[in-house]
Amino acid sequence: MMSDEAKKSNINVDLGLSARAEIKGEVPSTSMGRLVDALTDAIRPFTEARGLRADQVRLQREDVLIKIAERARSRMAKESERVSPIPLRVLQPILEKASLTDPDDEPLVETWANILRSASKNERANHIIFADILSKVDVSHLELLKCICKPNEGGAADACLDLQSDLRTFLPDLVRDSTQKASRGERSGDIADSMREDIRKIVDRRGSALVAAGANIRTRDEDRYFELATGFHIDKFPEDLGFALESLNILRIAEFDEGIIGKTSIWLTAYQMTLFGLQFFYAGYDGTDIYR
């Protein structure tokens, strides 16, 4: 029979994912204590104001995992979804990385719960990569993806959208048409408004977003430059967020500059989700699999 002292030397965490999908880890408490104490000492210069202690680190990790697991189970029960065991090679990295989330960071907790839910419903090797990516992004990145994917507008995102190809075909025609309008004496402001609306019809779809655009229009009477209103909040989503997501193969940045010398010209920047990015977003948004 195991002695009381021996029992106390182990940590046993049951996350309650399902009767068949339990995670139990046993680590000597003295070793765990030394490891967490060493980690706390290492990060203390950065967290001194908060007075972070080793026991708080352990408690937070357990609390957030329990919260994420219970959230996933609750969502699946509400949608009458079957909870299936997740292979350990997929489940372990999800839990390890999710455990570093602040329990009060609700958008990230929700996203981790949906990743766990998605892995239980549609286990794919990509869920391991999803866990790695989610551990590298912040709420602002997730909000940007939601702005691009527009999940509240109904219908599915266009997984076959090829914005680069569409714009290469569309922009030369738009410039020629706008130049003809200018030569007929139409007001430059009206031409700019028309260009903006035509561009947004092409770019602002579920899975893509017009970030910034401008046009230079020369008519019989004037030569003016217009910043074309896009509806995109660049102050809320600075370009470094887009660069980071592009580096993770979540989205592509499309940049175009098209014009007729001395006549009409236009430039624009747009974001388009990759197929992998769409799969990542929807797995974390509501646990769905766009490939099914």
Q: What is the pLDDT of residues 189-236, one digit of tens each?
A: 999 999 999 999 999 888 999 999 999 999 888 899 999 988 899 999
Domain residues of the chain, as ranges? 4-136, 163-280
For residue 210, the model assigns a pLDDT of: 94
The pLDDT value given to residue 88: 75
According to the model, what pLDDT value does residue 292 have? 55
The predicted structure's pLDDT at residue 4: 46
Q: What residues of the chain score a pLDDT lower than 70? A: 1-62, 123, 154-160, 290-292
Distances (CA, A) of 41 to 30, 31, 46: 16, 15, 10
As a dihedral over the C-alpha atoms of residue 49, residue 54, residue 59, residue 65, rounded to 10 degrees, the angle is 90
Among 263, 288, 266, 264, CA closest to 278: 288
Q: Which pLDDT score is estimated for 54?
A: 43
Alpha carbon distance 270, 227 (integer Å): 15
Task: Extract the tokens encoding 92.
Answer: 């372990």
pLDDT of residue 27: 42
Q: Does domain 163-280 fall into CATH 3.30.1140?
A: yes
Q: Check: CB of residue 290 under 8 Å from CB of residue 159.
A: yes
pTM (whole model) above 0.85: no
Between β-strands 264-273 and 208-218, what pairing exists: parallel, antiparallel or unpaired?
A: antiparallel
Residue bearing tokens 């189970």? 73
Contact yes or no for 188/241 (Cβ under 8 A): no
Confidence at residue 35, expressed as pLDDT on a 0 to 100 scale: 43
Return the closest-CA partner of residue 266 out of 225, 238, 232, 209.
225
